[in-house]
Structure 1
């Protein structure tokens, strides 16, 4: 068994992301990053682009490109902020809301796929480990 933790985490993240991205494209006709952004905007309607960037760990140019693509795909829309004319607020469109609803059962299925192969105690340990990494770094 390979015990190179950092290497394994990196490889697992890449393989999982690529697998889920491919499935999202096939089944939901949108890349996983757009769907992750859409879920955030649905949970935080009216959020600013900088908040979404922070949530997804994207830089300014990355989030600008992502938002533009999502607008082109009619998943979200930008509206000028009443409080700050320089800022835009993000809202899911009707198509975006529908896509987010389609995503819910898919996420449940992915999570169940993990749960089917590990005990509750093992899942708890993995969750503790992953949350530690997220909070620490």
Structure 2
């Protein structure tokens, strides 16, 4: 039996949030809302100003089901960390969470979290 082609197309959706050290509480912090059916296909965390915690500062990107589903980031190092893409489909509207843990209190630090996703079952136009 041949593959049933899907003529529905949609643009890739991109969401981002800029976060300062003072925006983060220890534990999971809701960062970006994604809709029912969202599947992350890319994204990253870019530490623009390293966190100056005494010993360590770690971030995680995940959701209620898995706190580090999309990866872990050393927030004391400036640079880009690509998210780990798992193919997970959000079965409900959900928050992507930015987890935060540090040893020693930061007085500086900033990052940008960016998500690239599509929404399964959605079509903005058709090709065919």
Same fold, TM exceeding 0.5?
A: no
Give 1 or 2: higher strand fraction. Answer: 2
Structure number with the bigger relative contact order (C-alpha 8 A, sep ≥ 6) is: 2
TM-score (normalizing by structure 2): 0.23
Give 1 or 2: higher helix fraction. Answer: 1
TM-score (normalizing by structure 1): 0.22
